[in-house]
Amino acid sequence: MSSPALPVSPPIADPAPPASPAEIDLSCRWPVGLLLFCASGWLLFAGVVGALATIKLHAPGLLAHWPMFTYGRIQPAAWNAFVLGFGLQAGLGIALWLMARLSGATLVGTGSIILGTLTWNAGLKVGLLSVLMAGGTGMETLELPRFAVIILFVGYALIAAWPLVVFQRRRRGDVYPSEWFFVAALFSFPWLYLAGNCLAVWYPLRGVLQAAAQAWFTHGLFVGWFGFLTIGVALYLLPKISGVALPSRNLAGFGFWLLAVFGFWGGAQRYFAGPLPAYLTAQGVVATVLTVFPMIAIGLLVWPVVQTSRKAIFSVPAGRFAVAGLGSFLAWGGLAAINCLSPVRAITQFTLAIVALDHLLLWGAFGLTAIGACYYLAPQVIGRELPFAGWISWHFRLATAAVLLHVIAFGVGGLIQGAGLENPDKPFIDVMRGWIPFAGMGTLAMTLQAVGGLLLFANVVAAVVAQARAAVVPVAQEWLAPGAPRAEVRP
Amino acid sequence: MNHGPLLFLGVLCCVVASWLGLVVGPHFQFGNQDLVLIEETGASYPSARDGLALQGAEVYRANGCNYCHTQQVRGASEGADIARGWGKRRTVARDYLRDRPVMLGNHRFGPDLANLGARQYTTNDLYLKLYNARLLHPRSVMPRYPYLFEERPLRPGAPPSPDALQFPEGSAVPANVEVIPKADALALVAYLQSLKSDAVFFEVFPPPQPPAATNSVSGVDTNAPALGDGTNAAPAMGAEAPANP
C-alpha cells in the first residue's frame, strides 16, 4: 500500500543485490528442514489423537479405564498438538523460508532457530503430557501448564526473532504483501499468548473476565496467526505458481488492515447469551460481520489470478492446496458472520456446529494451505525431490475430503443438536443420541487426516534420509576405499 | 507499506486496541464486582465452597468435564435452557466470582451443570452417573469413569462397606463385588452438589413463567429445581414473581 506521501522506495538496510534462491535455500536447509520435520510429525500425531478423541464422542466406553484417554484430556491434547505442534511450527518454518526468499536475504541465526525448535518441542511434549496427566488448566486453547508455556516462549523467541531480522536486512525495496501478513502474525502470537496466559491462567482476572480473556486470545489466534498465515502463504503461492501478478497492491493493503482492525475483536461472540455483559458479545458480532469485508477484498485480489491461470495452478499440488485452503478461509469468514447472528447462534451455540467452524479454519484453511506450502518448499529446502511425489495428490484428496466431510457432518449434526436443544419437549437423551452418527463421520474424517499426515511425514523423513545418505555415503566410501590412507599398526 | 516500523506499530495498535476493549475495559468496568448480600437468608452470594468441593473443582478441571458440560444458563429469550429446567434464571457474571478457573464450557454433549446441586439427585445417583451413567439411563452417552472408584471383592461373611455404591434393581453388577468411591470421586461429587446459580438478587429476576411446565418431560436431566427451595424469592420482584413451590 504505497501512498503518495511516502517515498516510493524507502531506504533499505542492505543495498547489496538480492541473494540467489539457491543461496537462500541452502541457508534455510537445517532450521527450516527441522521445523518441517517436526511440524509434519505433529500433524500426524494430531490426526491420530484427534481421531481417538472423536471416537470417544460416539464410543465413550473406549479405553474408559485409562484416565489419560478420557475425552476431557485427549481432546485438548489433540487440539494443542495441532495448534502448537503443527500450526506454530509449520507457520514458523514457512515464514522463515518465505521471508528470506521475499526479502532476498539469506537466513541468519541458524543455530538459534534449531535450538529454539528443540526447545519448543520439548516444552510442547511436557505440556501435553501434563494435560494428559491431569495438569490441564481448564481454559480452552490455554490448557498447557505454566512451566510448559514458559519453555514454549523461550523456544518461540529463539526462532521468531530471525525472520524479523531477515525482514530488516531485506535487499529488495518493495515489501511483498505476504510479508505484511507474516510480520503481523509473528508479532501477534507472542502478545496474544502471553496476555491470554497471564490474564486467564497465571494471574486470573475475576470471574467471567477469565473467559473474556480466553475468548479474546482464541479468536485473536484464529485470525492473527492462522488467518494471517493462510493469506500470506496463498498470496505468495498462487501468483508464483501461475506467474500472474496480484492485480492490486492497494487492495491487498486494504484487506490486510481491515482484517487487522476488525479481526481481533470477534472473540466474545463465543459466549453468546452467556454471563458476559451483552455489549461484549454484541461487539464480537459486529466485528465478525465486519470481517467479511477484508475477506471480500482478499477474494477479489486472488480471484483474477486463479481465474486466468486455472490450469497452471491446478497442475501443481501446492496450488490446489492453496486454492482449497484460501477457499476454506473465505468460507469460514462468511459462515462465522452468519453464525454469530443471534437467530442462528441461538441454534448453533454449544453444538457440534461450533466445532465444525473451528475445524474449517484450523484444518481447512490453515491446514490445507500449510500442507501445500510444506510440499512446495520441502524439495527446495531439503535439496532433493520428495521420494514419494505421487502421494502428494493423494494427500490433497484425503485432506480436502476430510475437511469437507468433517465440516458438513458436524455442521448438520450441530444444527440437529441445536434444534433439539431448543425444543424443551424433546428429552435430552434423544437430543444427544441424535448427533452420534455425525460424530462417527467426524472420526472417519480425522482418520483420513491421520493417513494424510502419514503421507507427508513419510515423504519428509524419506527425503531427509535420502539426502543424508547422499551426503554421507560418498565420504564413507572414500574413507574406506582400498587406496585411502590407512592407520598402520605400530610397533 | 514498505516501512517495517510502520507495519509493526500498526499491528501493535490493532492488537492492543482489541485487548483494551475486550479484556482491560471490562476489567475496569466489572472486575471489582463484589459478593451480594441476600437479605432473606443473611448469607452472601455466591457462597464459598468447602474444602472438599474446592478439591472437586480441581478434579472437574483435571478431567476436562467442561469439554462436554457447560455451566451457563441462557436467558429465556435466547434458548430453552430455563424451559429444560437447567436453572430458574440466566447466569450472570456475579455467579462466577469465586470460580478459579471459571469453566463455562463451550459444548453441550451433556446437560448444563450450572444448577446441578439444585436438582433432585442423591449422592448415590451422582456416584452411579460417574461410575457408569448407563446404570441410571440406559441410552446415556456419558463415558464411564471407573478410575474414580475402587472395585473390590466382598469379604465373605463381612457386611458391605457403608460407602459402597447402591446399585439400582436389575443392574448387571457382580454380586460379590462392591464399588467404593475414591477420594477424587468424593471431592467431585461434593463440587457437583455445590453448583447452584439460583440466588435471586437485583441483577437477575426470574423469567415470567415458572419452569414447572417441564415436569411433564420424563427425560433425564431436565429435572425441575428441587422442591422446598423457595427461600430466595426476593420481595423486590413483587406480584410478578413466580411462586416457588
Identify the DSSP state of B149.
Answer: E
A-to-B residue pairs, Cβ atoms closer than 8 angstroms = 248
Q: Give the residue from A154, A176, A4, A168 showing the smallest Cα distance to A102.
A: A176
Residue B139 is nearest to which of A270, A271, A429, comparing CB atoms?
Answer: A429
Inter-chain CB proximity B61 and A137 less than 8 Å: yes
Max distance between CA atoms of chain B, in angstroms, equals 86
Joined grid coordinates for residue A259? 482484517
Q: How confident is the model at residue A5 (pLDDT cuts 50, 70, 90)?
A: very low
Give Cα B138 to chain centroid, integer Å.
Answer: 23
Give pLDDT tens digits for A199-250.
999 999 999 999 999 999 999 999 999 999 999 999 999 999 999 999 999 9
Residue A433 is nearest to which of B19, B97, B141, comparing CB atoms?
Answer: B141
Identify the DSSP state of A282.
Answer: H
Q: In residues, how long is chain A?
A: 491
Answer whether A179's CB lies under 8 Å from A163's CB. Answer: no
Chain A residues touching B30 at Cβ < 8 A: 209, 277
Percentage of chain A lying above the pLDDT 70 cut: 97
Give pLDDT tens digits for A423-469.
999 999 999 999 999 999 999 999 999 999 999 999 999 999 998 89
Q: Give residues 24 to 83 of B whose Cβ lies within 8 Å of A.
A: 26-27, 29-33, 60-68, 70, 72, 74-75, 78-80, 83
Q: Give the residue from A231, A237, A103 showing the smallest Cα distance to A162.
A: A103
CA distances from A439 to A51, A81, A413, B127 (A): 10, 20, 8, 27
- Cα of A261 to nearest chain B Cα, Å: 5
Inter-chain CB proximity B84 and A67 less than 8 Å: no
What's the complex ipTM?
0.91
Give pLDDT tens digits for A53-105.
999 999 988 999 999 999 999 999 999 999 999 999 999 999 999 999 999 99
User: What pLDDT does A486 receive?
Assistant: 82
The torsion angles phi and psi of A188, rounded to 5 degrees, stand at: -65, -40
Inter-chain CB proximity A60 and B97 less than 8 Å: no
Max distance between CA atoms of chain A, in angstroms, equals 98
Give pLDDT tens digits for A250-301.
999 999 999 999 999 999 999 988 899 999 999 999 999 999 999 999 999 9
Whole-angstrom Cα distance, residue B96 to residue B100? Answer: 8
User: CB contact, 8 Å: B215 with chain A?
Assistant: no
Residue B218 has pLDDT above 60, yes or no: no
Contact partners, residue A425, CB within 8 Å, separation at least 6: B216, B217
What is the rounded average pLDDT of the residues B46-59?
95
Inter-chain CB proximity B61 and A423 less than 8 Å: no
